[in-house]
Structure 1
């Protein structure tokens, strides 16, 4: 006589043996947790680099704007490209100086001073076509200095994306509004 219950008992024993076996459990657990952890790490690093670049640009604008505030730019009759060179001399190695966009405007009143991000327009090759002004003003004028840079970002894992421009880059911008000191125009 054959035992009909032996086959299910053997199946249960095999299942219990398989479930109790811990070989490879660490690899499976890492596969489940590792991908989201690495994605979070990449997103964190990219966010840090963008914020670090933003702060570096803020510092550069503060340093460079002093030449306009104190009248040095006006006394030396600096052009837009010469002022850009001054800005670049303060830039850390994070930036490509040729890609900095510098806009210096005089505002008639504090309420009309525009220190916000401009709407960028692009040509078919993805190059910015905006025309930037350079008017450092006279003594007592309200001046707004804006320095912008298109920071390249990569699409992070799990869809994390810091881009805020249509071309996939992030516009980082620093601006400073101030009233020129009473310097002597020569």
Structure 2
């Protein structure tokens, strides 16, 4: 028997076509990986370079500390002396060259560094008692300012004296993105900081050599 009734209404072709296009776009994930990488790339590389810079700076600081301990031991035992009339006497330049040799495993001094400090700064002095040791880092201003090297000298005492050696090195941070977070020397004004200041100190009493 033939049934006569209403025929179902068809959706307009344009609407159906538009729905199909949007549906395909919604399901298309061919560029999702590239988009996600683009979003995450910047923080990823910032963290990566910050980790590398921090690790290298930390390793360099350990080299400075090891060199300071070794040089301090040589002064303490009389292997390095100053103005004692012995063959072990060293001048300021010779002493700086010896420190450069100690840190050469990772940090290379320039040809003129031993004579004229530009990155490596050394202060060796004798004090009358441990109470007279300087309590703070010598700076030209407030926190983050450069070190004040005006009173730095190489003048260790003789046998039985109390001595202090301080070694500072300006380590240049290479990656621009992490410089504001890794550096601890803030230049005056709005210029970008470049250096991380490595610090090593040793205080000791020399033997009766």
Classify the secondary structure of the residue corresponding to 2:19: helix
Q: Can you give the 5+ residue segments of structure 1 that lack an aligned partner in the other structure? A: none
- Rg bigger for which structure? 2
Instruction: Tell me how far 1:5 sits from its aligned partner.
Output: 5.1
Partner of 1:151: 171
Relative contact order (C-alpha < 8 Å, sep 6+): which is higher?
Answer: 1
d(CA) in 1 for partners of 2:203 and 2:178?
39
d(CA) in 2 for partners of 1:87 and 1:135?
15
Greater alpha carbon shift after TM alignment, 149-158 vs 86-95:
149-158
d(CA) in 2 for partners of 1:177 and 1:11?
80
Within-5 A mapping of 1:1-186: 6-74=13-81, 75=86, 76-91=88-103, 92-96=105-109, 98=113, 99-114=119-134, 116-120=136-140, 130-154=150-174, 156-157=176-177, 160-167=180-187, 168=193, 169-183=195-209
Q: State the TM-score, normalizing by the size of structure 1.
A: 0.82
RMSD between superposed Cα atoms in Å: 2.7
Q: Can you give the 5+ residue segments of structure 2 that lack an aligned partner in the other structure? A: 1-8, 114-118, 188-192
Instruction: Tell me how far 1:86 sits from its aligned partner.
Output: 1.4
d(CA) in 2 for partners of 1:143 and 1:152?
30
Question: Cα distance 1:116–1:57, how it changes in 2: closer, same or farther (>3 A)?
Answer: farther
Number of residue pairs matched by the alignment:
178
Q: How big is each residue's C-alpha offset from its partner over 1:5-40, in whole Å with a ceiling of 9 and x where there is no partner?
A: 554443333222101011111111111112211111
